[in-house]
């Protein structure tokens, strides 16, 4: 399981995925079908996501099965910005078609 913050044209989102990377072609295609074709992503450890989102993380993880590939943990951009600091995010991952 991977977790990441994705900065998109409409604001940041936090998602969980069963793909092995945040740039896996199938994940990128799935995001594109949702209108997210260009993004800057920062990988989070599952522990960071769990510590930040607590019970909500547990509920979403209960929904993420091996056959599933994507769950949105947080889509409120203001909320995402208030929960994470840039200095704790690591290296950005850039993607554009």
Tokens standing for residue 48: 């960071």
pTM, entire model: 0.88
Give a yes or no: residue 13 inside a domain: no
CB 26, CB 69: distance < 8 Å: yes
Residue-range definition of the domain harbouring residue 23: 2-7+18-95
Question: Within a domain: residue 84?
Answer: yes
Instruction: Tell me if 45 is assigned to some domain.
Output: yes
Phi-psi region of 42 (alpha: psi -120 to 50; beta: other; left: phi over 0): beta
Would residue 12 count as lying in a domain? Answer: no
For residue 23, pLDDT beyond 70: yes
CA angle 9, 14, 19 (to 5 degrees): 105
Q: What is the mean predicted confidence (pLDDT) over 7-18?
A: 93
Count of structural domains, the chain: 1
- Mean pLDDT across 32-55: 93
Residue with tokens 């977790």, as numbered in its chain? 3
The reply to whether 77 falls in a domain is yes
Model confidence at 72: pLDDT above 60: yes
């Amino acid at each position: 399981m991977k977790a990441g913050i994705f900065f998109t044209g409409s604001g940041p989102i936090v998602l969980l995925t069963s793909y092995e990377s945040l740039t896996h072609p199938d994940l990128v295609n799935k995001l594109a079908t949702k209108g997210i074709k260009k993004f800057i992503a920062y990988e989070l450890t599952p522990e960071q996501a769990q510590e930040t989102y607590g019970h909500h993380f547990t509920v979403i993880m209960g929904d993420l099965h091996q056959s599933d590939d994507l769950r949105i943990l947080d889509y409120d951009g203001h909320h995402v910005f208030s929960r994470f600091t840039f200095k704790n995010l690591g290296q950005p991952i850039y993607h554009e078609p």
